[in-house]
Chains A and B, each alone.
Chain A
Amino acid sequence: QQQVKQSPQSLIVQKGGISIINCAYENTAFDYFPWYQQFPGKGPALLIAIRPDVSEKKEGRFTISFNKSAKQFSLHIMDSQPGDSATYFCAASPPAGIGQGGKLIFGQGTELSVKP
């Protein structure tokens, strides 16, 4: 019940195209869903995040779509650029409780390659 499943494992997109990465979760009590971008040799960088009372959030070229009933959320990268080539992780925060403070559960990651 604590898992977050991410797909696809890898993705190749042409420059200017739309990149779509999907995640599914099981615990309906999760209440915070961030996406992180990670370049080789670097730590994950927070891209955008959403809470379950909102169905969509957009920041620049990045959009999160959230489907609470299906327990799924996705990241859309519009006008994908070669500089977007990185590994993307979805994550979810379990409900606050004893021993659960500050815990993010991450998906397995998607390696995105944007071809020029």
Chain B
Amino acid sequence: DAGVTQSPTHLIKTRGQQVTLRCSPISGHKSVSWYQQVLGQGPQFIFQYYEKEERGRGNFPDRFSARQFPNYSSELNVNALLLGDSALYLCASSPRDRGRFQPQHFGDGTRLSIL
């Protein structure tokens, strides 16, 4: 079975631009979470979506937004890009949102570079 897939793998943007990153979860997984990983640090939680609803939000500005589609895929949007947004953006999926915490499985990420 395919794992979590993310596209594109690499992206170069300039300050002020907008970007959309895409994620397809593992088949059968209904929950998608987004993380930002700056070089040399651990991933930082941005959002979690389950059944198209936002279930969790990290400490990120409103320039960051996301949505989930009926097929459980998800998009992360970042507006008005800043140099500090340069990072690896990771998507993770898990089977469901209910009950005890579900193991999250990560994709290989989108490397975003801001010039």
Contact = CB atoms under 8 A, between A and B. Distances in A.
B52 to A, nearest CB: 13
B30 to A, nearest CB: 11
A106 B43 contact: yes
B33 interface: yes
Interface in A66-116: 89, 91, 93, 96, 99-109
Contacts of B106: 36, 43-46
A20 interface: no
A51 B109 CA distance: 27
Contacts of A26: none
A100 B58 CA distance: 8
Interface string B95-111: 00100111111111100
A56 interface: no
A87 B74 CA distance: 27
B41 A43 contact: no
B43, B50, B92, B101: most-surrounded residue (chain A CB, <10 A): B101
Contacts of A101: 31, 48, 50, 55-56, 97
Contact of A99 (B56, B105, B108): B56
A49 interface: yes
B42 A89 contact: yes
Contacts of B45: 102-105
B104 A102 contact: yes
Given A32-B101, A102-B94, A44 B43 contact: yes
A1 to B, nearest CB: 14
A31 B45 CA distance: 17
A41 interface: yes
Contacts of B31: 101-102
Contacts of A108: 41-42
Contact of B101 (A46, A93, A99): A93
Contacts of B43: 44, 89, 104, 106
B56 A100 contact: yes
B44 interface: yes
Interface of B: 4, 31, 33, 35, 40-45, 48, 50, 55-58, 90, 92, 94, 97, 100-109
